[in-house]
Chains A and B, each alone.
Chain A
Amino acid sequence: MQNHLTNTTALSDGKIEQIKSGLTHDDEILLSLYGKREKVYPREVHGIFAFLRVLAAIGLLGIFYGLPWLQWDGRQSVLLDLPARKFYIFGLTFWPQDFLYLTFLLMLAALGLFFFTALAGRVWCGYACPQTVWTEVFLWIEHMIEGTRIQKMRLDKSLLTLRKFRIKATKHALWILFAAFTGFTFVSYFTPAKILVDELVNFQLGPWETFWIVFYGFATYGNAGWMREQVCIHMCPYGRFQNAMFDDNTLIVSYDEKRGEPRGPRKPSSDHRRQGLGRQGLGDCINCTLCVQVCPTGIDIRNGLQYECIACSACIDVCNDVMDKMGYPKGLIRYTTQNALQGKQTRIIRPRIIIYGVILTGIISIFIYSLSQRIPAGLDVIRDRNQLYRETAGLIEKCLYTENFEYG
């Protein structure tokens, strides 16, 4: 077997197929670990969930790119001033001794993840994760420059011509420009945006500012332009431990196997619904493979719940379109739960949700309460060590020494 593996690097795709056909199942698994990534060309999709995704992307990116330009009390609304060790978040000023609140925030994030994953699956992955959101922007740029999925695939297969070079160069130039702006925006949370613009225009950026703009920009370009679904599949731990948080009542994107199978193309004359053939003939899946074509992680949702699925619901939108055209009811692929698929009752309110919900609400309440009770000053009383008291004409005088500490 070792020979197979070392040889494959020098073999053509055809030869690999030949070898594969003679392999056992274990060999195949091992071989796939060394396999080259097959580029995913997600097809553009329209529909209600695509609309929600775009809305989420615009909202979240709007916050990220917009906040540094929003002023508050004569300064930048959100500014993490590291040299001065002051962290401004709108009307609040935090000091290093307020790090407790950061702990609260991290606890909230972790518990929020548990709660929402148990309730609605990987909604974070599909709608809000920076990896998903930036990949969508980069795909959108790619779509503008290179065209549709088929056009992109043809372009990538074609020989390098001046035209191909021009198209690719334009795409990468736009990607790099956008990535650089992203890096700039990231740094402007630490150096006020207006000052950073000044420094940039006058070529006076500091070494750390330059490093972080380039680094963050490069990471954006690499992750959203090149790595894409590989970050979700191979790098992100969340997808791997979702099993621990899922149960049979968790909202998942799923193909209705009972309704869809057996799948296959059909003529109008043999359409089971039109001809009233009932369940004898084909199921509702016409095997158009559009659900596979739109998938940003390149999986087939009809194979069941897979750890690669980021629940972006692109397959729901595209399948609903197909069902509409066929005159079938929508929802062959839909948001559902394992229980619903098996014909059982879905229970939204269940012990897991209640426990997560109570803890989450509790921590939010404590967080808000402690934040509202925060007194931005400190007082220490230190008694004078030399003299406990002094008697003066009938009055006791006591020497005390107060240290008065104010922060904010």
Chain B
Amino acid sequence: MDDKVHEYQLRAEGIPDLILETDQTPVVVDAGKVIDLPVRLRADETNLVKRSTDIVFTLTATDEAELKITEKAKFLGPQP
């Protein structure tokens, strides 16, 4: 609804103690721009019950809690 630069926080959930790592913090996106943000997820093997686990990424603007968006993904690991 606006035309401003926003700073975002990206989180990933779905596995206990899931850690999200990225080389680029904070995540700042200009109005109308698209960025590519490579991230890595780390999870403890003992927390993986299946080969494929559903996880959810949540992107929240730090300056505006209303501006929040989620996206589903899958965490693939070795057969437990």
Interface residues of B in 45-65 (CB under 8 A from A): 45, 48, 57, 59, 61
A101 is an interface residue with CB less than 8 A from chain B: no
Please tell me if the beta carbons of A404 and B45 are within 8 angstroms of each other in the complex: no
Interface residues of A in 369-408 (CB under 8 A from B): 374-381, 383, 388-389, 391, 394-408
Query: How many of B's residues come within 8 Å of A, CB to CB?
Result: 40
Contact of B40 among A86, A374, A397, A408 (CB under 8 A): A397
- Within the assembled complex, what's the spacing in Å between the Cα atoms of A374 and B66? 11
B38 is an interface residue with CB less than 8 A from chain A: yes
Please tell me if the beta carbons of B77 and A401 are within 8 angstroms of each other in the complex: no
Task: Pick out which of these stretches binds chain B: A88-96, A102-110, A113-121, A289-297.
Answer: A88-96
Q: A93-B1, A389-B78, A402-B10 known; A395 and B43 CB under 8 Å?
A: yes
Q: Which residue of A lies closest to B57 (CB)?
A: A381
Taking CB atoms, residues of chain A closer than 8 Å to B31 are 406-408
Taking CB atoms, residues of chain B closer than 8 Å to A93 are 1-3
How far apart are B36's CB and chain A's nearest CB, in angstroms? Answer: 6
Please tell me if the beta carbons of A381 and B73 are within 8 angstroms of each other in the complex: yes
Please tell me if the beta carbons of A398 and B69 are within 8 angstroms of each other in the complex: no
Contact of A396 among B37, B43, B57 (CB under 8 A): B43
Q: Which residue of B lies closest to A375 (CB)?
A: B69
Taking CB atoms, residues of chain B closer than 8 Å to A397 are 40-42
Taking CB atoms, residues of chain A closer than 8 Å to B61 are 377
Taking CB atoms, residues of chain A closer than 8 Å to B39 are 400-402
Please tell me if the beta carbons of A95 and B48 are within 8 angstroms of each other in the complex: no
Please tell me if the beta carbons of A403 and B67 are within 8 angstroms of each other in the complex: no
How far apart are A390's CB and chain B's nearest CB, in angstroms? Answer: 9
Query: How many of A's residues come within 8 Å of B, CB to CB?
Result: 34
Taking CB atoms, residues of chain B closer than 8 Å to A84 are 32
How far apart are A404's CB and chain B's nearest CB, in angstroms? Answer: 5
How far apart are A7's CB and chain B's nearest CB, in angstroms? Answer: 67
Please tell me if the beta carbons of A377 and B71 are within 8 angstroms of each other in the complex: no
Q: Which residue of B lies closest to A399 (CB)?
A: B40
Please tell me if the beta carbons of A91 and B1 are within 8 angstroms of each other in the complex: yes
Q: A376-B67, A378-B69, A379-B71 known; A403 and B59 CB under 8 Å?
A: no
How far apart are A77's CB and chain B's nearest CB, in angstroms? Answer: 13
Q: Which residue of A lies closest to B20 (CB)?
A: A400
Taking CB atoms, residues of chain B closer than 8 Å to A395 are 42-45
How far apart are B69's CB and chain A's nearest CB, in angstroms? Answer: 5
- Within the assembled complex, what's the spacing in Å between the Cα atoms of A375 and B31? 13
Q: Which residue of B lies closest to A95 (CB)?
A: B32
Please tell me if the beta carbons of B45 and A407 are within 8 angstroms of each other in the complex: no
Contact of A394 among B1, B44, B68, B74 (CB under 8 A): B44
- Within the assembled complex, what's the spacing in Å between the Cα atoms of A305 and B61? 60
How far apart are B45's CB and chain A's nearest CB, in angstroms? Answer: 5
Taking CB atoms, residues of chain A closer than 8 Å to B44 are 394-396
Taking CB atoms, residues of chain B closer than 8 Å to A389 are 76-78
Please tell me if the beta carbons of A377 and B2 are within 8 angstroms of each other in the complex: no
Please tell me if the beta carbons of B69 and A379 are within 8 angstroms of each other in the complex: yes
- Within the assembled complex, what's the spacing in Å between the Cα atoms of A124 and B31? 40
Taking CB atoms, residues of chain B closer than 8 Å to A375 are 67-69
Please tell me if the beta carbons of A396 and B78 are within 8 angstroms of each other in the complex: yes
Q: A396-B42, A404-B29 known; A379 and B57 CB under 8 Å?
A: yes
How far apart are A240's CB and chain B's nearest CB, in angstroms? Answer: 41
Please tell me if the beta carbons of A398 and B32 are within 8 angstroms of each other in the complex: no
Please tell me if the beta carbons of B34 and A374 are within 8 angstroms of each other in the complex: no
- Within the assembled complex, what's the spacing in Å between the Cα atoms of A397 and B76? 10
Residues of chain A having any CB pair with chain B under 8 Å: 84, 86, 88, 91-93, 95, 374-381, 383, 388-389, 391, 394-408
Q: List 10 A-B contacts (CB under 8 A).
A: A91-B2, A95-B32, A379-B69, A381-B72, A389-B78, A398-B43, A402-B37, A403-B34, A403-B35, A404-B10
Instruction: Identify the 8 closest CB pairs spanning chains A and B, nearest first.
Output: A406-B29, A381-B73, A398-B41, A93-B3, A379-B71, A405-B34, A396-B77, A388-B76
